[in-house]
Each structure stands twice: as structure tokens, then as C-alpha cells.
């Protein structure tokens, strides 16, 4: 282990990791309670078909929330993830339907668009000195405008059968390829955050950017990388959504950033930075997904569902504030 690695390990202490684990465990307990309640009051909730549907429904939220997690751990925020998702999925649709590109090339360019949007977010925050809220808010507006501009606000319908089956066909009768992608990105993300120097640097920056800089961490480079990852995963979420819907829509991802923030904070991350885990985030994702699914089964109005999710977000943020005061 190098001297710089030792300094980073000193910044990212065992106490913070244990605290993150305990908060993720608390979120998991809340998920179990929610499932138990819905099993009693919601018809057909515990059927295998419905539970598999829940997994499919949270795939997009889960992928995008991973990117939001690393951003929030650094003490930042990304309000553009939903709009970047929409732009990427519209680029995918235009290139494959009107641009003469094959699906492989269209997917690659779509991912690059998301990556570029994320990098621009990072550059505007690090070198442009914009607060993350303002920088990503600007990108939210720009990306959404471009998504609508591509087809003048019209959706693009119809993809090759194999692409649609990535999310619709369950192999061995249980899991779709897109759900396996969700598992893969979380495993890779967890390994990086736990065992790679770059992962430890993310926590160190959230704990204190100036201290991290003095420890030899390239704060600007890591920050740009974090936002680039968030943009890339937003684009991946857009591709998964296009596969699920068999279409690309410029309105896709509206409000997604709020669900992502809620999932990350419910999972134990702190909006002030330095704390959070992917285990907690995926639990938070399932809490949001199970709650929406249960409300649908109970035939609750979509407008009331918005109120409920809003209350959950408010409760999660209030809980985060209270945790910070205690610490």
C-alpha cells in the first residue's frame, strides 16, 4: 500500500463504513416491513409473477441510482439524470431509425452522449465553479430541450425483436437480460468503491475536498469522473427503458432524479457527502419500487402516488438531517 493510499484510508475511516452498513440494515428492515404490510393488504402482491415484475420495473431506477450514489457521496447532486436519459434514448432511436446506423453503433453513440453530458457537468462544477445544483440544473434543461428537438417532440416506435427481448424475455423463466445488467453494474460498482483507490477517493472527497486534495487526491479529476459515470449510467438506463417500452420518448425520465435521490438517501447516504453504500441504494430502490407496485395493486390514483412518494422523499431527507445533527 502506498503512502497516498494510507492517507486516503485515514480519511475514510472504519466508523463511517460501519455507520453506512447500519443505515443500510435499517433500510432493509423497512423494506421487509413494507413487503409484509403489502402482502396482507394488496391482492396478488406476493405472487412470483408480480415480484418478477417489480424487479423489471426497478431496473432503470436502479442503474441510474448507482450513478447518483457516487455523486452524492462526493457531496454533489445531479438533477440532470432524467433528462440525460431522455436525450440518450432519443439519440438511440434517431440513429437506428433515421440515421442509417446499426443497433450496436447506435447503442455505443447513445452511451457516449450520456458520458459527454456527465463530463460537461463535472467540468462546469470543477472548473466553471458552478454549484452542483446549478450546473446539473442547466444540463437538465439543455438535455431535455435537445431530446425534444431531435424529433420535434415525437416518440420513435419499434425496435428489432432481439432488442425488445432483452427486457421482455425471462431466461429460465425468472430473469431478463436487463435485470442481469443491473446486477452486474452493482457488483462492479461495489467492488470499485470497496477495494479500489478511486473508490476510496470518492468517499474522501465527500468527507472534505480540501483535506482530500492535501492527501494527494486529484479532486477535480475524480469529480469529473464521478459525474461522467452518472451520465453514462443514465444513458444505460435510457437504453434499458427503450428496450422495455419498444420506443424512445423525449418525455422519458421526468421526475427520475427525485426517485433516485430518494432511493440513495433512504439507503443511508448523506446529502452532505462522505457516506453512502450501493447496498443501501439498491435497498432504497426496491423500497421505491415495491411502494409504487403496491399502490398500483391497491388502485391508488397516480396523483395520490405522487403525494406519497413526495412524503417519502421529505421523510428521507429529514432523517438524513437528523442523523447529521446527532453526529
- What pLDDT, on the 0 to 100 scale, is given for residue 16? 53
User: What is the total count of domains within the chain?
Assistant: 1
- What pLDDT, on the 0 to 100 scale, is given for residue 27? 82
User: What are the two backbone dihedrals, phi and then psi, of residue 52, each rounded to the nearest 5 degrees?
Assistant: -65, -35
- What pLDDT, on the 0 to 100 scale, is given for residue 1? 46
- What pLDDT, on the 0 to 100 scale, is given for residue 231? 97
What CATH number has the domain bearing residue 296? 1.10.3470
Q: What is the pLDDT along the chain (327 residues), one digit of tens a residue?
A: 454 555 555 455 455 555 556 677 778 888 999 999 999 998 889 898 899 999 999 999 999 999 999 999 999 999 999 999 999 999 999 999 998 899 999 999 999 999 999 999 999 999 999 999 999 999 999 999 999 999 999 999 999 999 999 998 888 777 899 999 999 999 999 999 988 888 889 999 998 988 999 888 999 999 999 999 999 999 999 999 999 999 999 999 998 998 999 899 888 888 888 888 899 999 999 999 999 999 999 988 988 988 888 888 787 777 767 766 766
Range of the domain at 273: 3-326
Amino acid at each position: 500500500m502506498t503512502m497516498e493510499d494510507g492517507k486516503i484510508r485515514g480519511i475514510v475511516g472504519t466508523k463511517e463504513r460501519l455507520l453506512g452498513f447500519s443505515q443500510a440494515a435499517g433500510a432493509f428492515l423497512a423494506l421487509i416491513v413494507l413487503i409484509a404490510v403489502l402482502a396482507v393488504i394488496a391482492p396478488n402482491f406476493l405472487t412470483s409473477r408480480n415480484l418478477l415484475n417489480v424487479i423489471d420495473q426497478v431496473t432503470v431506477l436502479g442503474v441510474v441510482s448507482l450513478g447518483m450514489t457516487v455523486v452524492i457521496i462526493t457531496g454533489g447532486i445531479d438533477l440532470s439524470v432524467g433528462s440525460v436519459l431522455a436525450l440518450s434514448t432519443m439519440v438511440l432511436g434517431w440513429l437506428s431509425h433515421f440515421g442509417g446506423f446499426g443497433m450496436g453503433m447506435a447503442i455505443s453513440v447513445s452511451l457516449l452522449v450520456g458520458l459527454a453530458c456527465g463530463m460537461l457537468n463535472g467540468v462546469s462544477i470543477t472548473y466553471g465553479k458552478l454549484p452542483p445544483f446549478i450546473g446539473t440544473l442547466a444540463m437538465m434543461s439543455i438535455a431535455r430541450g435537445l431530446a425534444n428537438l431531435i424529433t420535434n417532440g415525437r416518440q420513435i416506435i419499434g425496435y428489432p425483436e432481439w432488442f425488445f427481448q432483452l427486457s421482455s424475455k425471462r431466461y429460465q423463466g425468472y430473469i431478463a437480460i436487463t435485470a442481469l445488467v443491473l446486477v452486474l453494474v452493482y457488483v462492479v460498482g461495489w467492488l470499485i468503491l470497496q477495494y479500489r483507490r478511486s473508490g476510496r477517493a470518492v468517499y474522501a472527497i465527500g468527507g472534505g475536498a480540501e483535506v482530500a486534495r492535501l492527501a494527494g487526491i486529484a479532486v477535480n479529476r475524480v469529480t469529473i469522473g464521478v459525474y461522467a459515470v452518472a451520465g453514462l449510467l443514465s444513458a444505460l438506463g435510457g437504453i434499458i427503458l427503450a428496450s422495455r417500452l419498444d420506443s424512445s420518448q423525449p418525455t422519458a425520465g421526468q421526475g427520475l432524479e427525485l426517485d433516485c435521490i430518494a432511493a440513495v438517501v433512504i439507503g443511508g447516504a448523506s446529502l452532505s457527502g462522505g457516506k453512502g453504500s450501493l447496498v443501501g441504494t439498491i435497498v432504497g430502490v426496491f423500497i421505491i419500487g415495491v411502494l409504487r407496485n403496491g399502490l398500483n395493486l391497491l388502485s391508488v390514483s397516480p396523483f395520490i402516488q405522487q403525494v406519497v412518494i413526495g412524503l417519502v422523499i421529505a421523510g428521507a431527507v429529514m432523517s438524513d438531517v437528523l442523523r447529521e445533527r446527532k453526529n
